[in-house]
Chain A
Amino acid sequence: MSHISPKSMYFTIFGCLMALTALTVYVAFLHLGWLNFPVAITIALIKASLVVLFFMHVKYSSQLTKLLVGSTFFFLASLFGLTMTDYLSRAWYVSPRGSMSAGMLPKLIAAEVPAASEMALANPEALFGATCGSCHSNQTNTAPRLSEIHELYANNPAAIIEWAKSPKRKRMRFEPMPSFAHLGEARLKALAGYMLQQAAAAPAQPPAAN
């Protein structure tokens, strides 16, 4: 009446699934930088495909069933794609490395610009431009401006460092600030000093509306 797979096929697929499980654990402990996540997802997709095609018999099902199963990817891609185009583009800005979103910053800085750590202490202006400056300046409306930060923390740069390590959300209309703990104490201290100094030097700005 319908396709009957040999038992050996089921054991082979099970063996492949076990091998891929071992592989995903092994790969998780390798230093692949930003690639760790896509590699883990790719392995999971291969495992899921094996289950769908062989355990769930889709390989031997009708064209209509195959089309239906394939449509799942379309629905999921719509869900992820449309949501992410919104969230990942809320704070577009143009940096010397091209445009990217604020949410991706900490990972990208850590992964792609190791040189930033050396230039940082000698040149806080460049570091500021590559990190905080993309959202916090006196011109932008993506985050509290430097003038507001100065009002709050003029005599307390340690609080800026604390906030940068473990940020909270100040206003719902701003994207939540990602943690910059990975920059390290010395660089955060240089940044806090630079920010307060810049804000003090600049003429007072009207505060961003709430």
Chain B
Amino acid sequence: MPDVIAAHAEAHGHGHAAHHPALQHHFETLEQQKEASTLGMWIFIIQEVMFFGGLFTAYMLYRIWYPQAWSEGSAELDIVLGGVNTVVLIGSSLTMALAVRAAQTDKRKATVNWLILTMLLGLTFLVIKGFEYEHKWALAHVPGLNYHQEPGQLPQVQIFLSLYFALTGLHALHMVVGFGILAVIAWMAAKGRFSSAWYTPVEMAGLYWHFVDIVWIFLFPLLYLVDRAHQVG
């Protein structure tokens, strides 16, 4: 570490005291820098919450107007696949939290391994989601692109399915972005960029990944579990 610090000070070409290479000049300490990063990340997450919040509002309005269509639309979704994906995604949140903990405790190899496991679980989620989408396409239940209204089904089931694709599609997009972020963080971790003194990027990537998990925690009951008691009679 002293070598790194000396090399860094030399590269600067200006004579202030040696400091940790990750410390940016407008911050006093790494602690202060981490606090600023955390606040910035949370502000980003709050606007993400509001972004999904708009879609949830549309969901609420149409659910109140067309409860029967919501019941019929939700019955089409597979609780087993949705449930397995919930377990997979919450599992990936656990491995993400353990990756951050490994970085906090200077365990470089464990950090990389937990991050890779998180990515694999994320990939599993996306593959299962892909099978669900494929099934919907085969049934021609994709509003706007390939839709056939089942006899006896309310036309408003299309609104439910549109919101299903909008919400799960945007969620899946966030997962793809998260996968890319984790790939970069895992590469940085493998290169030894993080230590117990400086692991903020791992923690920030974790905040993003957990946020995506939370969105799914709400999507699962709102999409898959509507009015199930009355469908089985």
Complex CA gap A48/B222 in Å reads 14
Quick check: A103 and B65 within 8 Å, CB to CB? Answer: yes
Chain A residue with Cβ nearest B98: A10
Complex CA gap A140/B67 in Å reads 25
Q: Which of B66-124 contact A (CB under 8 A)?
A: 66-69, 79, 83, 86-87, 90-91, 93-94, 96-98, 101, 104-105
Quick check: B49 and A103 within 8 Å, CB to CB? Answer: no
Other-chain contact of A43, B98, B211, B221 (Cβ < 8 Å): B221
Quick check: A56 and B206 within 8 Å, CB to CB? Answer: yes
Q: Which of A76-96 contact B (CB under 8 A)?
A: 76, 79-80, 83-84, 87-88
Given known A-B contacts A75-B46, A76-B53, A83-B61, A1 and B38 have beta carbons under 8 A apart = no
Number of A residues near B (Cβ < 8 Å) is 60
Quick check: B68 and A179 within 8 Å, CB to CB? Answer: yes
Chain B residue with Cβ nearest A4: B104
Other-chain contact of B221, A28, A57, A79 (Cβ < 8 Å): A28
Complex CA gap A41/B220 in Å reads 10
Quick check: B67 and A107 within 8 Å, CB to CB? Answer: yes
Q: Which of A155-210 contact B (CB under 8 A)?
A: 166, 168, 175-176, 178-179, 181-182
Quick check: A166 and B228 within 8 Å, CB to CB? Answer: no
What total count of A-B pairs have CB within 8 Å? 149
Main secondary structure of the interface of B (DSSP, over half): helix
Instruction: Choose the segment among B29-37, B139-147, B180-188 that binds chain A (4+ C-beta atoms closer than 8 Å).
Output: B29-37
Pairs across A and B, CB under 8 Å, 28 listed: A2-B31, A4-B101, A4-B104, A4-B105, A5-B101, A7-B101, A10-B97, A11-B94, A14-B93, A21-B86, A24-B221, A44-B218, A44-B221, A44-B222, A55-B210, A56-B206, A62-B35, A62-B38, A68-B39, A68-B42, A75-B49, A76-B49, A76-B53, A80-B56, A107-B67, A176-B66, A179-B67, A182-B68
Give me the interface of B with A, judged by CB distance under 8 Å.
Answer: 30-31, 34-35, 38-39, 42-43, 45-46, 49-50, 53-54, 56-57, 60-61, 64-69, 79, 83, 86-87, 90-91, 93-94, 96-98, 101, 104-105, 154-155, 196-197, 203, 206-207, 210-211, 213-214, 217-218, 220-222, 225, 227-230, 232
Give me the interface of A with B, judged by CB distance under 8 Å.
Answer: 1-2, 4-5, 7, 10-11, 13-14, 17-18, 21, 24-25, 28-32, 36, 40-41, 43-44, 47-48, 51-52, 54-57, 61-62, 64-65, 68-69, 71-72, 75-76, 79-80, 83-84, 87-88, 103-104, 106-107, 166, 168, 175-176, 178-179, 181-182
